């Protein structure tokens, strides 16, 4: 006989299993990062030099027009532990923070049915794992914390719950300009609930988004091709279903699915705002989030992107919110969708989710993971410190060593990096250090 506490206990077991599987999949999608972590892109060009020069005040220096404070926190914490072992420490911190985000999104703080399966879905969606296990891109994950104030449970009234909602809102807004386009969703939440606390969150969200907007306006693509705008939604929905040559460009099926998405989403909005049916609220929020993130990708890239070959990070938010949209549809009570044949409706949502998370990898399993050439950070520091004045430090761009970036580091900056962190007191950095490091490096197989 099932006890009173058996259902929550079973839910927790499923949640923990899914979080464990997510961690494994997360590592497997970029296995080279676990074997030989490296410094990537703007992390080596901007974040590390700014951290060495300005310390913790570098948190407020934008990168490419954005405030990416979560990424810079990882940079500063890693350097505070050990500059010599920066890639390894930053990699571990990235995994920990990403897992913490997934723990929060699957907690009782969130009112989202079947939320315990969300981490697995995110790990299996058909995009290149560009944002996986890379310290620079941790802000893509922390921005998902904006789901916390939007989907917060009506039972989350304790001081701890409110504190977590405030922290999640703050981290989500200071990590990405996506918070600007998601403001309407929080306005709807405040309007529907009329709760004082939600108005406070809306004020905090708006203030932090205004700061992001100040830096972000210059990043809108100057060559906007409005003739392609009608293709945006079909392009994302088509490649979400499965990545192959058929869906690579919008076609009849992707246009039909896009029309169905718009009709269902608008009906959910109407039911939420006009009919005041609470069961459609989550679907409305997910619907607006999909449209907002697709708009953001279009404004930033003019759709000159590809889920595997060019800017796959711009598919991350749309795909995640499309998945949440399907999850919310699946959870709508049958009596609210009786005209749509609930079993068929729920089965269709589940089928689309399963197809999205499996067929791309069945067709081509090599796309599931991403590798890169080894690039030894300590070798680069050694060469820099050995130089007379400065050195062009090699930094990964796309994982191919022949296309790596180079950024000129002054010798003094490299010395500061090597001497930084708590671990630096465990080894002596003196006149013999270079020779000892060189001999140890040359004796390695």
**Which whole number is the average pLDDT over 394-407?**
92
- pLDDT, averaged across the chain: 88
pLDDT at 318 over 80: yes
- pTM value is 0.91
Q: Is 212 exposed, middle or buried (0-12, 13-18, 19+ CB in 10 A)?
A: buried
* pLDDT tens by residue, 39-55: 999 999 999 999 999 99
Phi, psi of 38, rounded to the nearest 5 degrees: -135, 175
First to last CA, the chain: 61
Adjacent-strand bridge partners of 410: 390
The band of 353, judged by pLDDT with boundaries at 50, 70 and 90, is very high
* pLDDT tens by residue, 205-218: 999 999 988 877 65
Q: Give the separation between CA 149 and CA 178, rounded to whole angstroms.
A: 15
Q: Distance of CA 148 to CAs 96, 106, 291, 350, 389, Å?
A: 19, 10, 19, 24, 49
* pLDDT tens by residue, 3-14: 445 667 888 899
Q: Is 35 exposed, middle or buried (0-12, 13-18, 19+ CB in 10 A)?
A: exposed
**Which whole number is the average pLDDT over 399-409?**
93
Instruction: Show Cβ contacts of residue 432 under 8 Å, excluding neighbours closer than 6 positions.
Output: none
**Which whole number is the average pLDDT over 243-259?**
86
pLDDT attached to residue 1: 42
């Amino acid at each position: 006989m099932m006890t009173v506490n058996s259902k929550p206990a079973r839910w927790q077991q499923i949640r923990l299993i899914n979080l464990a599987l997510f961690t494994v999949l997360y590592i497997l999608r970029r296995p080279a990062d676990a074997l030989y972590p490296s410094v990537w892109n703007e992390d080596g060009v901007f974040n590390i030099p700014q951290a060495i020069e300005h310390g913790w005040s570098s948190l407020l220096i934008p990168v490419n027009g954005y405030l990416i404070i979560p990424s810079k926190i990882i940079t500063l914490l890693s350097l505070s532990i050990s500059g010599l072992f920066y890639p390894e420490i930053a990699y571990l911190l990235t995994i920990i923070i990403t897992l913490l985000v997934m723990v929060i999104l699957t907690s009782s703080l969130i009112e989202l049915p079947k939320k315990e399966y969300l981490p697995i879905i995110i790990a299996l969606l058909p995009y290149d794992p560009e944002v996986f296990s890379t310290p620079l891109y941790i802000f893509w994950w922390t921005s998902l914390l904006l789901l916390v104030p939007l989907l917060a449970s009506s039972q989350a009234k304790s001081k701890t719950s409110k504190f977590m909602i405030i922290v999640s809102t703050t981290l989500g807004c200071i990590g990405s300009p996506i918070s600007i386009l998601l403001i309407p969703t929080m306005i709807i939440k405040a309007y529907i609930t009329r709760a004082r606390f939600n108005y406070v969150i809306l004020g905090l969200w708006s203030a932090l988004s205004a700061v992001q907007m100040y830096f972000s306006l210059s990043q809108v693509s100057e060559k906007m091709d409005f003739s392609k705008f009608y293709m945006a939604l079909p392009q994302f929905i088509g490649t979400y279903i499965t990545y192959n040559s058929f869906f690579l460009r919008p076609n009849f099926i992707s246009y039909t699915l896009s029309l169905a998405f718009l009709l269902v989403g608008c009906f959910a909005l109407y039911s939420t705002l006009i009919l005041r049916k609470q069961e459609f609220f989550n679907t409305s929020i997910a619907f607006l989030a999909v449209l907002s993130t697709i708009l953001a990708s279009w404004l930033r890239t003019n759709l000159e992107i590809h889920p595997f070959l060019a800017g796959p990070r711009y598919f991350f938010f749309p795909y995640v919110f499309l998945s949440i949209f399907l999850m919310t549809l699946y959870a709508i009570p049958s009596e609210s969708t009786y005209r749509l044949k609930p079993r068929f409706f729920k089965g269709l949502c589940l089928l689309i989710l399963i197809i999205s998370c499996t067929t791309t990898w069945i067709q081509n399993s090599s796309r599931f993971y991403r590798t890169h050439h080894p690039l030894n950070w300590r070798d680069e520091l050694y060469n820099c410190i050995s130089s007379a004045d400065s050195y062009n430090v090699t930094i990964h761009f796309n994982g191919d060593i022949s296309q790596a970036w180079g950024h000129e580091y002054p010798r003094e900056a490299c010395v500061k990096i090597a001497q930084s962190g708590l671990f630096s007191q465990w080894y002596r950095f003196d006149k013999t250090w270079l020779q000892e490091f060189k001999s140890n490096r040359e004796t390695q197989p």
